[in-house]
Amino acid sequence: MASYLCLSVILIDSEIDNFGVFGLADPNGPMIYKGLYHLFYQYNPKGAVWGNIVWAHSTSEDLVNWTPHEPAIFPSQESDINGCWSGSATILPSGKPVILYTGINPQNQQVQNYAEPKNLSDPFLREWVKLPQNPLMAPTQANQINASSFRDPTTAWLGPDKWWRVIIGSKRNRRGLAILYRSKDFVYWVKAKHPLHSAKGTGMWECPDFFPVSVDGPVGVDSSAIGGKVKHVLKLSFDDTKHDHYTIGTYNFDKDIYIPDKGSVEGYTGLRYDYGKFYASKTFFDDVKNRRILWGWINESSSVNDDIKKGWSGVQAIPRTIWLDKYGKQLIQWPIPEIEKLRLNNVNLSNKLLKAGSKLQISNVQALQADVEVSFKISGFEKAEKLDPSWTNPQMLCSQKGASVKGGLGPFGLHVLASKGLEEYTAVFFRIFKSYDKYVVLMCSDQSRSSLNEDNDKTTYGTFLNVDPVYETISLRTLIDHSIVESFGGKGKACITARVYPTLAIGYGANLYAFNNGNQDVQITSLNAWSMKKAKIY
């Protein structure tokens, strides 16, 4: 049965999709060119595990239905003979797209290479050629770059001085580095004396992303925008933890440095795009619809042996539109509206009381592939548990107080991919705690009972959700697709992606429930659920 997810390299239940059965990883070089969306991605055409890496390539008119093409970039030069790793696309002022990517040379050094389309009149950009000058950027004794930690160039931006700039992830000992290069012609690059930014104790910075966001609303802005109307975001994929963290701050063009805002936490406790399985993400500016779109890689929770057995691994998350919240403190993320064209057979509930200890089946929905939006209203807080000051790790708190652990105000939320007898389910839920003079909302995605297959990773994920339940409803949107559960809390203030492999809750054995395992009633102010039809992968 085909997945509705864009660019899923999978079909569930041992079927094979249009891509075949192979391994997929980091999204690379997303862009829009002559009205077509392009996505490249790390891809192993010879197996389900890491190796033989090339840049696979697919195009779409709507970010939902996709046409795969032959790999765009594959090892062919000395500078990439041992693999073509991640990178980015930049649209030059002439309209020509250019790719910078990391290659591995015969000395196993990480170096940066250039590729451009062979035929600009081809909107599909099916053939790419490399410069004979490659590599354009390489580690040397003089520049003191770690040859094994120098990878993943960002989309470049053009300064008011007409010089291009790009950053490349690196490290020196345990200090993460965003190494800055400049170029006048996009071919000859010079390393800056200092990095754009660095931070001690964070290890290797993979797949950095640096881009502006508007302070005036949800519209996107070009990657070269600077000035008082924008803030800047520096996103880093921490190799040590395999999580994507970001800060919001200011780009000082005169000094070519990035300065995180006061209170924008750097390191492992800082803000994340997603508190589940989501890594090596990349954004691009969609200049047709004036929005910034985020792609991310969802890796596996199954064992390597199971990946080899089923013949595939890795998918891309649903593309998300991202923008700065009205307070300038965090990013908001929401699935692209185009995904809604796959909705079928709306089921609607409103003003439904969810009594303490109860569950409500959401019928007439294909629970294996669904889009669910629900809002909860709390009318009383007298049973909210007290938040212990030591409970500072939300993921650990979600693990200790999972969906089956009765609480005061919560857990309440959704049981998705649930078997009829609840032997298997993935729970996405909230708990509300009392902390001094405010209430704290915990959002969790509990995989502990997601599958009877004990070889799977069943880590429970969680984060604190920045909403005030006294004055706001608590909203949840969950996209369900066979083995993928993408959840958006507080209208996109927090996101958690889970990868689960039920053995009973498959096909017509999958069910969907709203549940309340707390001691206090909660109100479902509205619930809308849709079955989802298949995207077309030609």
DSSP secondary structure, 131-173, as one string:
-TT--SB---TTTT--TTSEE-PPPPEE-TTS-EEEEEEEEET
Block residue for tokens 């403190």: 329
Which of 376, 486, 500 has its CA nearest to residue 441? 376
Three-class SS state of 338: helix
Block residue for tokens 């249009």: 18
| Ramachandran class of 284: left when φ > 0, alpha when ψ lies in -120 to 50, beta otherwise | beta
Q: Which of 17, 26, 209, 274 is catalytic?
A: 26
pLDDT at position 478 is: 98
DSSP assignments along 251-305, one per residue? EETTTTEEEEPTT---STTSEES-SSS-EEEEEEEETTTTEEEEEEEE---S-HH
Environment class of 208 (CB within 10 Å of its CB; exposed 0-12, middle 13-18, buried 19+): buried
CA 428 to chain centroid, in Å, comes to 18
pLDDT at position 437 is: 87
CA distance 236 to 207: 6
Q: What share of the chain is helix, strand, coil (3-state, %, to 5)?
A: 5, 50, 45
Tell the CATH superfamily of the 343-532 domain: Exo-inulinase; domain 1 (2.60.120.560)
Extract the tokens encoding 8.
């899923």
- For the entire predicted model, the pTM comes to 0.95
Which of 127, 64, 112, 117 has its CA nearest to residue 94? 117
pLDDT at position 21 is: 34
pLDDT at position 307 is: 86
Q: Active site includes 80?
A: no
pLDDT at position 15 is: 26
CATH T-level fold of 23-335:
Tachylectin-2; Chain A (2.115.10)
| Ramachandran class of 437: left when φ > 0, alpha when ψ lies in -120 to 50, beta otherwise | alpha
Environment class of 470 (CB within 10 Å of its CB; exposed 0-12, middle 13-18, buried 19+): exposed
The series of mean pLDDT values per 10 residues for the chain, 538 residues long, is: 36 27 80 97 87 94 96 97 97 97 97 98 97 97 92 98 98 96 98 97 98 96 96 97 97 97 94 97 98 96 87 91 97 98 96 97 96 96 94 96 96 98 97 94 97 94 97 97 97 97 95 97 98 89
What are the residue ranges spanned by the domains of the chain?
Answer: 23-335, 343-532
pLDDT at position 11 is: 26
Length of the chain: 538
CA distance 103 to 87: 10
Mean of the per-residue pLDDT values of the chain: 93
**Is-contact 282 30, C-beta < 8 A?**
yes
Peptide bond between residue 93 and the one before it cis (omega within 30 degrees of 0): no
In degrees and rounded to multiples of 5, residue 509 shows phi and psi of: -85, 0
**Is-contact 280 86, C-beta < 8 A?**
yes
